[in-house]
Structure 1
C-alpha cells in the first residue's frame, strides 16, 4: 500500500484536539472522514498517524500526518480531493507527498517547532479573537528573553510538565526560544518561537505563561531558573490558554515536501 505524508493546517477552535474521540469533534476524525470518501481502507476504519497530538483549541500551520492508501494517487490530485471533502471544516491539506514505507510522521521526526502569539492591548480582540492570547498591558520583552535563556538546553522540565503527561521522562532538550516584539495598531504583539526534538504535555503553554509573568513584572528573570530547578509543578507560573499556540512545523532528516 502506498504511503503518503500530509502537511495540514487547521484552526483548533472547533475541535477537542487532534486525536479522535468517540463523542467529540477532532481534527484527526475530520481528515479520516475525508479520506474515507476516497479510499476503501479508511471507509472501513483505517487510521492516520500524526507528528503531534495538539490539545483542544490549539492550532497548526505545519502538522504532518501519514496515511496508507489502497490507490497510488497523484499527490496533487489527492490534496485537491481531500480539501474538497474537508469543507466546511477549518482544516486544509497544504501539500501531499509520496513517502517510503518506513516513514512515520511521529517517529521519523527530529524536530518540532511551535509558535505562540500573545497580544497586549486594552481593547478586546475582533479579527484575531480565538487566535491569540490577549493581555491588557505591555510586557518587558528583554526580561522575558533573560528568563527564557535559563530554559534552553537539556533539563528536567518537571515544573513545566502537565500532571497528566504520559512521557516516560521529564528530561528534554529545548534547542531554542526566540521572542519577537512588534508594534501593532493600538498595542504590541509578542511572538514566541520554540524548537525541540519533542515536547512534554503543556510544556510550551507552561513556559509562555511563566514568561508572561516575567514580562509583566510579577516575576524576576532569575525566578524562572529557580522554578526549573525546583522540579515541582507547583513552582510553575500560570498555564496560558491554548488558542495562542500553533504547531508551526515538523523537521525530518529529509523534508518529504521539498520540491
Structure 2
C-alpha cells in the first residue's frame, strides 16, 4: 500500500511531520518559519507560494498555542486589543508589499536580527519568569509592535522571537508571559497575512491545510511544555533556535 503512494502524497505526509516539529518550536521559542520555509522551497514551491502556504500552516499553530496559553491565564487579550488591531494592519501591509517586490534583500538582514536576538537572550539577566520594570508603556510600544508586524507580513521568520524579546526587554514581562502574549500578536499577524495571500492567489490549500494539522499538534504540545517548565525551557530553546536558524541562513547565503 505504501508503494502506491504518489509523490504528492509523500510530500503531504512529510510536510505534515515537519509542521509538527515547527509548531512545537514556534509555540515555545519562535522561528519555526526558518525551518518550514527552506523545506517548502526545497519541495519546489515558488517563493511567493511558499511564503503564503507557510502562513496558512503557521496561523493554525500560533492560534492553537495562543488558545492554550489563554486557557492557562497568561494571555492578556482585552488589554492588548489596540495593539492587536495595529499588528493586524501592519502585517496586511507587509503581505501586500511582498507580493509586489523582491524579498531577496531580507536574506542579508534577517541573520543580523537573529544574531542580535540570540546575544540578547544569552547575556540579558532579564530573560526570566520574573516581571521587571517596563521601559516602554503599552502606547509607546506600539511602533515596535507595528514594525515587527510589518516584517512578519513581508517575510516573517523569527517574528515570534522578536515579539517575545521586545516584550521582555521593553515591556518588562516575564519570559513565559511574554511568550504567551507574543503568540497573541503572532497569530494576529498570521491571520492578516493569510487573508492577503489568499486574495492574491498565493496559496497551496491541500498542502497548507495538512501542514496546519501538524502545526496545531506541535503548537498544543509545545505550549503545554512551556507553561509547565517556564523560562528554564524557553530560554535555552530560544538560544538554540536563534543560533541554529541563523547558521542555516548564513550557510545558504555562502552557498548561493
Q: TM-score of the superposition, structure 1-length normalised?
A: 0.21
User: Which has the larger helix fraction?
Assistant: 2
RCO (CA 8 Å, sep 6+): is it higher in 1 or 2?
2
User: TM-score, with normalisation over the residues of structure 2?
Assistant: 0.21
Radius of gyration: which is bigger? Answer: 1
Greater share of strand residues, 1 or 2? Answer: 1
